[in-house]
Amino acid sequence: MKRKRSVAAAAALAAGLTLASATTATVATASSATTSSATSALSKEADDYGTQSWTAYVLVGHQEGFRQVTADFKVPTVTCTSAQSKASFWIGLDGYGNGTVEQVGITTDCDQSYPNYGEFYEMWPNNPQYPFRVNPGDSIAMSVTYDSGHWNLAEKDLTQPTEKFNLPLTCPSGKVCENMTAEAVLEAASGTHLSKFTTTGFTEFQAVDSSGAKVGLKANGAVWGLAKLLMTGTDGQPLADLSTITDNGEVFSFTYKQAS
């Protein structure tokens, strides 16, 4: 039976996670920052855009912003396609059409031919932090929640339950965190250096807008739109693809497409 996560359950996840220090030991040899690049193209419906740095579904607030995004994710098996390639999978607020991203996720930065699997959190443009390692096949619960001037970034490895964090962080100095988008993203190093990965995806995706309404990955007229982004390689072909969205907007998958 498909498990539904309510807003209360998502709040309980965040409350139950142990606070971790931003100085927690980083994942060994993780070398490249999970840097997000915004785009100014906004859509009220689902559209495909080429030459993006993300492959993603993005909820775009028109009348309402967002105060929470939650999802579950299963860590894929990753194969490096270059010495610095990666495949990062994350959820977050902002980053699409503005200058900040509040995000948590999984990254697999390559060190030569070896992928380093780790959880990360980031208040971009501040540097990402890598609290602990994960393994292929691990199930991960993620959440980003805005509350009274703080963004609580939380992750828990459901396969290794002691591996978890919940951090109340503030918007980077000199920036404005608008909370106007909520997204589920696949990202490559420098927008094109994507590692090969086994098909995986997000489940239980849910956002809460600033009015308190819950939403999956579906457009809602003038209130919020849905954008579909596809990053492409130098040949103009998509590096990965997105499945259709099912289960009331809560489930979709990523498939690697570039030849190895």
Indicate whether 106 belongs to any domain. Answer: yes
Domain containing 194 — which CATH number?
2.60.120.700
> For residues 66 and 60, is the Cβ–Cβ distance under 8 A?
no
Indicate whether 123 belongs to any domain. Answer: yes
Q: What is the pLDDT of residues 85-143, one digit of tens each?
A: 999 999 999 999 888 999 999 999 998 889 999 999 999 999 999 999 999 999 999 99
Can you give the residue range of the structural domain that contains 217?
A: 55-256
Indicate whether 38 belongs to any domain. Answer: no
Look at the chain and report how many structural domains it folds into: 1
| Residue in the structure block whose two tokens are 């098909």 | 199
Question: Once rounded to an integer, what is the mean pLDDT over residues 172-192?
Answer: 93
Q: What is the pTM of this model?
A: 0.82
Indicate whether 144 belongs to any domain. Answer: yes
